[in-house]
Amino acid sequence: MLDLNILPTPVEYILYGCLFLGVAKATILVLSFGSLLFDLLLLPKASYKKYGSANNCWALVTGSSDGLGAEYARQLAAKGFNIVLASRTLSKLETIAEEIESKYKVSTKVVAVDVTKVDEAVTQIAAGIEGLDVSVLINNVGQSHSIPVPFAETELSEITNIININNVFTLRITQLLIPILAGTASKYKAHSLILTMGSFGGLLPTPYLATYSGSKAFLQNWSASLAAELKADKIDVEFVLSYLVTSAMSKIRRTSWMIPNPKSFVASALNSVGKRVGAQERFATTTPFWSHALMHFGIDQTVGVYSTIANSLNFDMHKSIRVRALKKAERARKEQ
């Protein structure tokens, strides 16, 4: 006869269940962190031979007149790609093109475009790349707010420019390039690559940068969706998440362990294609720079990117930045 006294009580069932869930959570955490370290430290750097490096294939880099875009152009040229530079300022593009041709012995083309005028910019780029075997597209061009600002006070022109540049232009230029990237013009191109720049401003909902934050969050889901769609066409799609980098957009000039310069960040991004690094919970996404990767992983595994705590901290930080920016502008006005 069954002795009912040896069966677990309801309380014991609950305790066993909690223990099981705790062990499962701890196991997942350890495995995820191990995967991060494996991506970061052990996996070899991405190879660009499958994208046609050193075989007369081209890379198109948007927003390439300075900062991250110019560095993507330099480092892809160093890998043997011919470079199409697309940005607003012709003189800057020509200077970078001359530097690249002289240093890396590859060909370049420059297309000076105002990407706020989407139709015109796409038409100009289409003409500029006609006949070229483009195998890499770097969607780098982007715009943020001039300073943190409440959404209700954001000027319409700023809202419109952010959405047109970050979203509408990026989608249109990608749509233009897909048939070329999927083409078989070169026997040396086994795959093609679309790499789109994201931001922690889109990873975490960011008060006082609401329009920019929303535009980057949109790109995250769009890019991941595109990755699944284009896999059969042998087009690799990657979304790159970045915290702060020294640049004109961030207005930060001094590097630190958390804030790399464009050269260091771009090297990590290009080396990490195909790896998630800090973006362990996301598809077709990488957070490539080591300190950004640890920060992303830490937030996701503790408070969570959509938590009240993360949102409150982000709110306080950007409110403080806004106050300091307004005081600085006021001092500058009085000194005039």
Distance CA 159, CA 98 (A): 35
Distance (Å, whole) CA 332 – CA 322: 15
Q: Which residue among 51, 72, 208, 212 is the active-site one?
A: 212
Partners of residue 85 on adjacent β-strands: 61, 110
What's the full length of the chain, in residues?
336
Backbone angles phi, psi at 236, to 5 degrees: -85, 125
Rounded to 10 degrees, what is the CA torsion of 123, 124, 129, 135?
A: -70
Is 212 labeled as catalytic in the residue annotation? Answer: yes
CA 63, 68, 71, 72 torsion-angle sign: negative
> Quick one: 89 exposed, middle or buried, by C-beta within 10 A (0-12, 13-18, 19+)?
exposed
Residue 152 exposed, middle or buried by CB count within 10 Å (0-12, 13-18, 19+): exposed
Residue 328 CB-half CA count within 13 A: 7
Three-state SS at 252: strand
Q: What's the CA gap between 53 and 55, in Å, rounded?
A: 5
Q: Is 107 annotated as a binding residue?
A: no
Q: Token pair for residue 298?
A: 């830490």
Return binding residues for substrate: 199
Instruction: Kindly list the catalytic residues.
Output: 212
Return binding residues: 199
